[in-house]
Amino acid sequence: GPTRYEAESAVVSEGGTIDANHAGFSGTGFANGANAVGSYVEWQVTGPASALTFGYANGTAAARPVDISVDGTVVAAAVPFPATGAWTTWSTVARSVALPSGSHTVRVTATTADGPANLDYLDLSPEVRAS
Ligand code: GCU
């Protein structure tokens, strides 16, 4: 199964906080990134992996897009994190990414002044190998 990296163990850029005031999250909390362009949440992860899945909530009416970067290179631009209906309603956004073996930095960076959605975790799905 996937390997989970909780957002409460991630690095949050200036102005962001680790919160626990909206129930339903995994672990002990979630990352509430600052409401600003460039606001980010960054995880150190270990590959290999074939997909990234982000747990999140967005209690507003508008999607909260982020650039997803691996080791400083954007691998998916302006990926929308759609409204979930409430801050206590958690959903997922996933992207296929060929992540090689070893340590990597995965960062999501807000592309709008709303900042990122509230981020709960990053799951790495194991690489699928042909048998
Ligand atoms: C509310 C909510 C926060 C959220 C914020 C936002 O303040 O309680 O958890 O991060 O909105 O709009 O980003």
Give tens-digit pLDDT for 64-120.
999 999 999 999 999 999 999 999 999 999 999 999 999 999 999 999 999 999 999
Range from 2-11, 14-23, 108-117, 122-131 carrying the lowest mean pLDDT: 122-131
User: For residues 33 and 49, what is the distance between their CA atoms, to the nearest angstrom?
Assistant: 25
Atom of ligand 1 nearest to the CA of 19: 9
State the number of CA atoms in the 13 A half-sphere of 28 facing the CB.
Answer: 4
Rounded to 5 degrees, φ, ψ at 8 are -70, -15
Q: Give residue 98's identity as a one-letter amino acid code.
A: A
Report which DSSP code applies to 112. S
Q: What is the reported pLDDT for 129? A: 57
When pLDDT is cut at 50, 70 and 90, the band that residue 121 belongs to is: very high
Q: Residue 130: its pLDDT value, please?
A: 56
Q: Residue 84's Cα: distance from chain center in Å? A: 15
For residue 84 and ligand 1, the question of a CB distance below 6 A is answered with no
The pLDDT value given to residue 126: 87
Where are the domains positioned within the chain?
3-125
Section 55-61 average pLDDT: 98
| Assigned CATH for 3-125 | 2.60.120.260
Residue 128 — very low, low, confident or very high, per pLDDT cuts 50/70/90?
A: low
ipTM over 0.90: yes
Atom of ligand 1 nearest to the CA of 117: 13
- The alpha carbon of 109 is separated from its chain's Cα centroid by a whole number of angstroms, namely 9
57 within 8 A of 7, measured Cβ to Cβ: no
109 C-beta closer than 6 A to ligand 1: no
Amino acid at 23: A
Q: Which atom of ligand 1 is nearest to the CA of 60?
A: 12
What 3-state class would DSSP assign to 27?
Answer: coil
> Which amino acid residue places its CA nearest to atom 5 of ligand 1?
32
3-state SS, residue 9: helix
User: Hunting for tokens 């009416």 — which residue is that?
Assistant: 61
pLDDT, one tens digit per residue, over 39-53 is: 999 999 999 999 999
Query: What spacing in Å lies between the alpha carbon of 7 and ligand 1's midpoint?
Result: 15
